[in-house]
Amino acid sequence: MDGIRLWGRHPRVPNRTVILRSSDTVCIAIRLYEHGRHPRGTGSCRYILDTASHLRVTMQANERTLMSMGPARAHFLRYYVGIVLLLGLTVLLWLFRSFMPALVQTFTLPVTLFIAVFILLLLLIAEWKRASTRYVVTDFRIIKKHGILRRNETVVPYRQLERVVLHQGIIDRILGIGSLTIDTGDDTVEIASVRDPKGVEKAIMGGMQTLQAPVGSR
């Protein structure tokens, strides 16, 4: 891979760079490929791509995190509705226990314990999913991390964005939450049920405008 040109679209990487390989690490040297001459040395390595760990990209030293958030509990409402219904079923089971046949009454306690375990399981799944989903907005990209057993990470640089669509219904406005669809033209990324969605939209649009502004005006 030595000497291969990389025509990057990243705002912090020059249009023409050179990939320099060293053992298991690929370093994108921040150097211009001038006059067709291969640069010597590794240069200033701001991005480290570890070939042994599926190309992990390190954040730049000057990259700032503007916002970091997770989805609101309303996004997992179906789990909490299920918990409420099971609790109601348990209450009804004990209220009408005396009207049931003796054989059925003997199963009241085991059924209650089973429902309690199932309620706990639903609660753990809902909270675990919520905790494992994170949205990070930096000064030049959006990062979405999600997944419980298998972690997935989606990175969208601002230069690839075409539009940001805010979705906020009546109930969402009452709860103070909303969702955003990040459209790159080729694909979409959803930021679902976050607090202060207009603030998130403002941060993203501000980052886009900063990168699209002329160099002298930044």
146 plus 121 within the same structural domain: no
The C-alpha angle 12, 147, 132, rounded to 5 degrees, equals 85
> What pTM was estimated for this model as a whole?
0.63
Residue 60 domain flag: no
* Segments of the chain with pLDDT less than 50: 1-58
User: pLDDT for 44-55, tens place per residue?
Assistant: 334 433 333 333
**Which positions ≥6 away from 26 have C-beta within 8 Å?**
1, 19, 20, 48, 49, 50, 51, 55
Asked if 108 and 97 touch (Cβ cutoff 8 Å), the reply is yes
149: CB partners within 8 A, 6+ apart: none
Quick one: pLDDT at residue 59? 58
Beta bridge partners of 157: 141
Query: How many CB atoms lie under 10 A from the CB of residue 143?
Result: 17
Query: Which residue range forms the structural domain that includes residue 32?
Result: 5-53
Q: How many domains does the chain have?
A: 3
Residue 36 lies in a domain: yes
Q: Does one domain contain both 155 and 83?
A: no
pLDDT computed for residue 190 by the predictor: 93
Same domain, yes or no: 205 and 152: yes
Residue 43 inside a domain? The answer is: yes
pLDDT for residue 44: 36
Q: Is 59 inside any structural domain?
A: no
Quick one: 125 and 138 in the same domain?
no
Q: β-strand 141-146 against 17-22: which pairing, if any?
A: unpaired
